[in-house]
Amino acid sequence: MDLFKFFGRSGGGSKDIAKDRLQLLLIHDRANVSPQFLEMVRGDLIDVISDYIEIDESGLDIKLTRTKRERDGATVPALVANIPIRKMKEKIR
């Protein structure tokens, strides 16, 4: 029986929010990632991918975040790029 709920108090408090925010914050702090760095990665990614795929550059979103590793569920930093595709280039099989 959940006594907290029984007495009208919510069980999951704000500390989980604090922990989540901190973990995200520290990924950036520790990696010392500047906006310029992400801009450089973004530029290079566009260069490489554009050889194969026509992409929507304006819609490209790249960010440093974290994800659960499949193997053991541990939280690890991840570079996530959302790249909208216009169409595949035909010269590639």
Partner 1 sequence: MGEVIVITSGKGGVGKTTTTANIGTGLALEGKSVVLLDADIGLRNLDVVMGLENRIVYDLVDVVEKTCRLKQGLIKDKRFPNLFLMPAAQTKDKSAVTPEQMMELTKNLAEEFEYVLVDSPAGIEQGFKNAIAGASRSIVVTTPEVSAVRDADRIIGLLEANDLKNPQLLINRIKLEMVKRGDMMNIDDIVDILAIDLLGVVPDDEQIVISTNRGEPAIVDDRSLAGQAYRNIVKRILGDNIPFMSLDTDEGLITKIARVFGFVRK
25 interacts with partner 1 by CB under 8 A: yes
Binding span for partner 1 by CB under 8 A among 21-29, 34-42, 43-51, 78-86: 21-29
The angle formed by the CA atoms of residues 52, 54 and 58, to the nearest 5 degrees, is 130
Least CB distance to partner 1 at residue 65 (A): 16
Its sign, for the CA torsion 51, 54, 57, 59, is negative
Based on CB atoms, which residue is closest to partner 1, 8 or 47? 8
Locate the DSSP E strands across the chain. 53-55, 61-68, 75-82, 85-88
Return residues touching partner 1 (CB under 8 A). 4, 9, 11-16, 18-19, 21-23, 25-26, 29-30
